[in-house]
Amino acid sequence: MHINEFDFELPAQLIAQHPPKERGSSRLLVALPEQKPIDSQFSQITDFIASGDVVVFNNTRVIKARLFGHKQSGGQIEALIERVIDEHTAVAHIRASKAPKSGTELIFEGHLHAQMVERQGELFVLRFHSDETVWSLLETHGHLPLPPYITRSADDKDDERYQTIYAKYQGAVAAPTAGLHFTETILQQLRDKGVHLTEVTLHVGAGTFQPVRVENIAEHHMHSEWYEVSEQVVAEIVAAKARGNKVWAVGTTAVRALESAARSGELRAGQGDTNIFITPGYQFKVVDNMITNFHLPKSTLLMLVSAFSGYQKIRDVYQHAVAQQYRFFSYGDAMILGNGRKD
């Protein structure tokens, strides 16, 4: 398919620049197969999930991955940590007038020193000079990495609101944003209804915002992200399928984790890197329904949901969302999609 088939017109004012005043107060567009879209509220989401269904959350935690500083020679530099390798080493995206060469000393805020060790494609290996771990240094000196379409700097409010309330394991540089809508009240309502809640981990990388630069999407090289699916999750899902219940994934990252764990044709526990690229034509093996936000034009995430619900269905849903002035992207509204691919 051609990249332009995943383009759409989006008025700039529909791109949410701030979270809603209260977590869980967003709108919800219900777009299940063979049904017309239903305009609802996220607080009503329990109405659409049946007792006995399994809802799978991504429990990754966003790190303060953005660092500002300069080269020892004086040039300004910005680093976005993509992945922590060990206690003192990380790989990062670098923004600078001239890319640093191997051996270059970098000085970030708080007199934090690091050396650029080598390049790995578009990424740079940084070794930090400190007795503290990279995790600790980022927590002290780093900034929350809001997505590029949010045209303001992160503030203290974002430190809370750009994390899910169930975030546990550090490693993401972008939030699994479908999960940002959930409150403890909604989670408890689901438990009280008899819905099974379980968690996987997928550390979202900055590649999730990278544009697709090829015209033929089959030529796109997907970025890798680390994931883990436990034996407990597998058991919950197998039991749900056996009793005829549905498996819900909260966000495209939970979808990618589950479908990666089922690449052999059977869902298996495991962990590792995944570069699974889901486009129209893909046969889903695990997920029945998805809770997700609205995605960028020409993005791999838009391709994933088009594969999930059907290309024309997604075009119609997005047209409806624009017409009804839903809020888009990370701090925007949510929708429910069903696996109803017809094309």
- Give the C-alpha separation, 72 to 104, whole Å: 7
Residue 160 one-letter amino acid: E
Q: How many domains does the chain have?
A: 2
Q: Which domain holds residue 129?
A: 66-143
Question: Cα 98 to chain center, whole Å?
Answer: 30
Higher-scoring residue by pLDDT: 39, 153: 39
Q: Are the CB atoms for 253 and 203 separated by under 8 Å?
A: no
Question: What pLDDT is stored for residue 209 in this prediction?
Answer: 73
Quick check: 193 pLDDT over 90?
yes
pLDDT digits 0-9 by tens, 104-121: 999 999 999 999 999 998
Nearest CA to 28 among 48, 16, 45, 10? 45
- Give the C-alpha separation, 266 to 252, whole Å: 20
Q: Are residues 188 and 124 in the same domain?
A: no
Q: Are residues 102 and 167 in the same domain?
A: no
Residue at 281 is within a domain? yes
Q: Residue 328 maps to which CATH number?
A: 3.40.1780.10
Contacts of residue 19, defined as CB under 8 A and 6 or more positions apart, other chains included, come to: 157, 158, 161, 162, 180, 331
Residue at 263 is within a domain? yes
**Whole-structure pTM value:** 0.95
pLDDT digits 0-9 by tens, 211-252: 788 999 999 988 899 999 999 999 999 999 999 999 999 999
